[in-house]
């Protein structure tokens, strides 16, 4: 058993007990709602749901349909290592609040709410769900990996297998915010590696790499390259929210 599983379970049980004792609250603003994991009308209407038309390479949304094989300028200039980036919503005020409350506020039940909106972007065929890992020191400090909680919720809702420990972050890295794209890629280069069990699990499989927020893609790309080197047939990235530039 993972040495951090007990801490994550205790945190989850505590918040589930609180949720049972208190009325359901909107994950975005805290307003009372009809059921657990539901958004109030205001927060729901402010979410920007992502979907086609989009780039055939990275799934960046287009303003209008350009053809099924149309690609954005970035994908035309540099073919990505991944097989697509899917996200439930665009990164905005409400999406950010939900992600931060899960990540730093201990609101582990929000993983279920996020997964419920992410499931529509899962492949129709069975795939292996692999969460982006945390370094052991950060996992010890936080008590759980938010990406793993989302992956577990996706697995429960679909029956897809979750490989929680296929990847490991064996080298700690500083926060990537306020760094240029090139600096981000350099920071995470070589930070991830496969475990022995993970290497056997991903070989020849379609993999969905699960994370909470997709920003520049540096962390996800580093994971994708490791997974593909280990023999994964394809790697699609699935996130709760994606930062969409102007």
Could you tell me the CATH number of the domain that includes residue 103? 3.40.50.2020
On the CB side of 42, how many CA atoms lie within 13 Å of its CA? 10
| The pLDDT of residue 9 | 53
| The pLDDT of residue 11 | 52
- Mean residue pLDDT of the chain comes to 90
For the chain, what is the domain count?
1
On the CB side of 32, how many CA atoms lie within 13 Å of its CA? 2
| The pLDDT of residue 183 | 80
Domain carrying residue 132: 5-242
Read off the pLDDT band of 177 (50, 70, 90): confident
Helix 146-158 / helix 93-103 crossing angle, nearest 10 deg: 100
pLDDT in tens, 76-85: 999 999 999 9
- d(Cα 238, Cα 151) in Å, to the nearest integer? 10
Q: What is the pTM of this model?
A: 0.89
pLDDT in tens, 22-59: 788 899 999 999 888 899 999 999 999 999 999 999 99
Please check the confidence at residue 18 and state whether its pLDDT lies above 70: no
Q: Is 81 exposed, middle or buried (0-12, 13-18, 19+ CB in 10 A)?
A: middle
């Amino acid at each position: 058993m993972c040495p951090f599983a007990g801490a994550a379970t205790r945190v989850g049980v505590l918040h589930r007990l609180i949720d049972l004792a208190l009325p359901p609250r909107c994950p975005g603003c805290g307003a009372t709602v009809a059921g657990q994991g539901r958004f109030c009308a205001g927060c729901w209407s402010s979410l920007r749901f992502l979907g086609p038309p989009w780039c055939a390479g990275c799934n960046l949304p287009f303003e209008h349909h350009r053809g099924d094989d149309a690609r954005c300028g970035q994908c035309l200039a540099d073919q990505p290592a991944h097989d697509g980036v899917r996200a439930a919503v665009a990164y905005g005020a409400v999406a950010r609040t939900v992600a931060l409350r899960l990540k730093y506020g201990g609101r582990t039940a929000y993983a279920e709410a996020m997964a419920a909106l992410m499931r529509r972007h899962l492949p129709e065929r069975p795939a292996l769900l692999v969460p982006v890992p945390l370094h052991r020191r950060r996992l010890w400090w936080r008590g759980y990996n938010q990406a793993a909680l989302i992956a577990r919720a996706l697995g429960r809702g679909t029956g897809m297998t979750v490989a929680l420990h296929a990847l490991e972050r064996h080298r700690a890295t500083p926060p990537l915010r306020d760094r240029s794209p090139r600096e981000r890629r350099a920071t995470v280069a070589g930070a991830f590696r496969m475990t022995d069990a993970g290497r056997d699990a991903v070989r020849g499989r379609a993999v969905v790499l699960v994370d909470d927020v997709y920003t520049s893609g540096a962390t996800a790309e580093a994971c994708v390259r490791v997974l593909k080197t280990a023999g994964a047939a394809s790697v699609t990235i699935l996130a709760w929210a994606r930062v969409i530039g102007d």
